[in-house]
């Protein structure tokens, strides 16, 4: 699997699709790896140049010690584009990835054709909750967190369906380095993008699951209300990982938006 140094951090990535096709950069959520986007690849892989990567502290990327910031995570993503010679791209990010997308759109909007921000927020209080997750990850490991995470990420009906995606997501969570998870929790804890995203001028689609307890529709509405001309789509019967739970609906919304903006 290819890896590349971006600043002082080594990032693992996969670049697929025709070399002359429009590029899409996909950024993973907290506690997952680039494989979280596997359900989208049959739809995207033949028509677009798709760049997926493990954010720092996740998957097979390096795990710098200490707390991270959303700006550092955004710099990683932009540095990866630079290293691979990708001048402009559509951006798709979920949860933490959507936070990265907001920072990129506000600071480097000219590098992006569109932003699709999924299951995300521009501010996540209270800080005490994130402090507790940082301590749990560092002191007890990911096994102490996995059950609660899976419960937040999928609706009860999907969790009880026996879908093999549940097992794969659990494995991703458990294989996430505890230090990397904690570092990204700190980035989310300290993030406040409310005053900067009003400057985004990139066509923006916000997608949220109707049953998402982690970043509920009110969080999506807050982003929509702050970004000029942003669109909002609510997917029924979906919680946090809506790209997995409602793949067909999500893929349709994503392709339609990219086609309209690209």
Measure CA 180 to chain center. 15
pLDDT beyond 90 at 1:
no
Please say whether the beta carbons of 225 and 138 come within 8 A: no
pLDDT of res. 262:
84
* Whether residue 144 has pLDDT greater than 80: yes
19-23 long-range contacts, CB within 8 A, separation 24+: 19/49, 20/49, 21/47, 21/48, 21/49, 22/48, 22/49, 22/89, 22/90, 22/113, 22/258, 22/262, 23/48, 23/49, 23/50, 23/51, 23/86, 23/88, 23/89, 23/90
Q: Would you kindly state where each structural domain of the chain is located, as residue ranges?
A: 3-261
Q: What is the pLDDT of residues 193-246, one digit of tens each?
A: 999 999 999 999 999 999 999 999 999 999 999 999 999 999 999 999 999 999
Residues in the chain: 262
Helix (H, G, I), strand (E, B) or coil at 68: coil
Q: pLDDT tens, 188-207? A: 999 999 999 999 999 999 99
Residue 3: pLDDT band by 50, 70, 90 thresholds? very high
Res 118 pLDDT > 70: yes
Place 172 in a pLDDT band, splitting at 50, 70 and 90: very high
pLDDT per residue as tens digits for the range 6-64: 998 999 999 999 999 999 999 999 999 999 999 999 999 989 999 999 999 999 999 99
- Per-residue pLDDT, averaged over 75-100, amounts to 98
Quote the pLDDT of residue 107.
97
State how far Cα 119 lies from the chain centre.
8
Which tokens go with 96?
A: 């933490």
20, 31 contact by CB (below 8 A): no
Mean pLDDT of the chain: 97
DSSP labels for 97-156? Answer: HHHHHHHHHHH-GGGEEEEEEES--SB---HHHHHHHHHHHHHH-GGGTHHHHHHHHS-H
Q: Which residues contact 9 (CB under 8 A, 6 or more apart)?
A: 56, 61, 62, 64, 76
Residue 2: how many other CB atoms lie within 10 Å? 10
CATH 3.40.50.2000 is the classification of domain 3-261: no
Residue 164 has a pLDDT of 97
């Amino acid at each position: 699997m290819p890896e590349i140094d971006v600043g002082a951090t080594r990032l693992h990535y996969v670049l697929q699709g025709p070399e002359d096709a429009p590029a899409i950069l996909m950024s993973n959520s907290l506690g997952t790896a680039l494989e979280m986007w596997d359900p989208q690849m049959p739809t995207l892989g033949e028509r677009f140049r798709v760049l997926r990567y493990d954010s720092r502290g996740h998957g097979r990327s390096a795990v710098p010690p200490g707390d991270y910031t959303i700006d550092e995570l955004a710099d990683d993503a932009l540095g990866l584009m630079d290293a691979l010679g990708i001048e402009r791209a559509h951006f798709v990010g979920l949860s933490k990835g959507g936070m990265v997308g907001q920072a990129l759109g506000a600071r480097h909007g000219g590098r992006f054709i569109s932003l699709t921000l999924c299951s995300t927020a521009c501010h996540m209080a209270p800080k005490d909750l994130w402090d507790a997750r940082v301590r749990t990850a560092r002191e007890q490991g990911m096994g102490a967190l996995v059950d609660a995470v899976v419960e937040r990420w999928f609706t009860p009906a999907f969790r009880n369906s026996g879908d093999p995606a549940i097992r794969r997501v659990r494995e991703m969570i458990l294989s996430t380095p505890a230090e990397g998870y904690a570092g990204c929790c700190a980035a989310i804890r300290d993030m406040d993008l409310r005053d900067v995203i009003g400057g985004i001028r990139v066509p923006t689609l916000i997608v949220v699951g109707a049953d998402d307890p982690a970043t509920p529709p009110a969080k999506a509405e807050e982003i929509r209300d702050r970004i000029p001309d942003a669109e909002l789509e609510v997917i029924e019967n979906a919680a946090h990982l809506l790209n997995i739970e409602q793949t067909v609906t999500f893929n349709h919304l994503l392709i339609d938006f990219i086609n309209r903006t690209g």
